[in-house]
């Protein structure tokens, strides 16, 4: 089986999952957190090098205040429950996104998990938090302009532009998965997804299980075989 080096997932459909079960949206998010653990552990066991998870977009701030507050409590819930296991499995936590606009407590929790796992050499579990791709590209352009003006660089290439993005140093994304039936990229990793396979799955994120990931990997293998055979 051809295992993608870098998989990115848009974890959509927690609210819809909850509604379908007659539960509150927050219960969908709670279930979504458990699934982050399960899919991360499974991806690591398969030999995936990097898993990027889109947990919160800049647009999510427009949700009702109670829901945003609940979302902000999830890093604590997640790392309190699973940081020990992530350490045991040698998983390294990183993040991309505008960390400055994240509430203090959530930021502290993430920075602590990032610091504690920084020496781990297994899979990179990369959280996209308060991330927007256009924002990232504009910031990269500004950073380049600064370096150019300072005389540190005199040219820009597709390759060197990568170094200005928040994903600098991570392998190229081989596979993007979006759950819950929507077939859009929604301002996620626009530059990085140029050559990625895109797979849209019908199930809501809490229902996306190991079998779902297996099905995606099988589809990925079919597509890369076809591509390789040309």
* Site of interaction with ligand V0D (CB under 6 A): 11, 14, 29, 32-33, 36, 55-56, 71-72, 74-75, 78, 102, 106, 129-130, 205
| Residue 8 · residue 173 · CB < 8 Å | yes
| Residue 53 · residue 35 · CB < 8 Å | no
Cβ proximity to ligand V0D, 130 vs 167, nearer residue: 130
Minimum CB separation of residue 16 from ligand V0D in Å reads 12
Question: Which residue in 12, 35, 44, 174 is the catalytic one?
Answer: 12
Cβ proximity to ligand V0D, 55 vs 160, nearer residue: 55
- The DSSP-derived string for 74-113 is HHHHHHHHHHHHHHHTT-EEEEES-GGGS-HHHHHHHHHH
Minimum CB separation of residue 82 from ligand V0D in Å reads 9
Q: Is 44 a catalytic residue?
A: no
Cβ proximity to ligand V0D, 69 vs 218, nearer residue: 69
Minimum CB separation of residue 159 from ligand V0D in Å reads 30
Helix axes 104-116, 65-88, angle to 10 degrees: 10
Cβ proximity to ligand V0D, 129 vs 165, nearer residue: 129
Q: Is 112 a catalytic residue?
A: no
* Overall size of the chain counted in residues: 230
Minimum CB separation of residue 126 from ligand V0D in Å reads 11
Encoding tokens for residue 146? 């600064």
E strands present in the chain: 6-10, 50-57, 92-96, 124-131, 175-178, 197-200
d(CA 29, CA 151): 47
Question: Which residue in 35, 60, 147, 209 is the catalytic one?
Answer: 60
Positions annotated as catalytic residues are 12, 60
């Amino acid at each position: 089986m051809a295992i993608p080096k870098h998989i990115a997932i848009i974890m959509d459909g927690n609210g819809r999952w909850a509604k379908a079960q007659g539960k509150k949206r927050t219960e969908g998010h709670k279930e979504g957190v458990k699934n982050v653990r399960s899919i991360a552990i499974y991806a690591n066991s398969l030999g995936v090098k990097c898993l990027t998870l889109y947990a919160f977009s800049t647009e999510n701030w427009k949700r009702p205040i109670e829901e945003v507050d609940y979302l902000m409590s999830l890093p604590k819930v997640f790392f309190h429950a699973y940081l020990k296991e992530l350490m045991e499995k040698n998983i390294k936590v990183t993040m991309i996104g505008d960390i400055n606009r994240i509430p203090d407590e959530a930021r502290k929790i993430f920075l602590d998990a990032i610091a504690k796992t920084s020496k781990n050499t297994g899979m990179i579990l990369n959280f996209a938090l308060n991330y927007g791709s256009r924002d990232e590209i504009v910031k990269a352009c500004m950073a380049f302009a600064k370096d150019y003006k300072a005389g540190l660089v005199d040219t820009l290439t597709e390759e060197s532009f990568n170094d200005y993005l928040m994903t600098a140093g991570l392998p190229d994304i081989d596979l993007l998965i979006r759950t819950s039936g929507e077939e859009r990229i929604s301002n996620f990793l626009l530059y990085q997804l140029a050559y990625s396979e895109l797979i849209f799955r019908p199930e809501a994120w809490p229902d996306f299980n190991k079998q779902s990931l297996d099905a995606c990997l099988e589809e990925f293998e079919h597509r890369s075989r076809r591509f390789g055979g040309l």
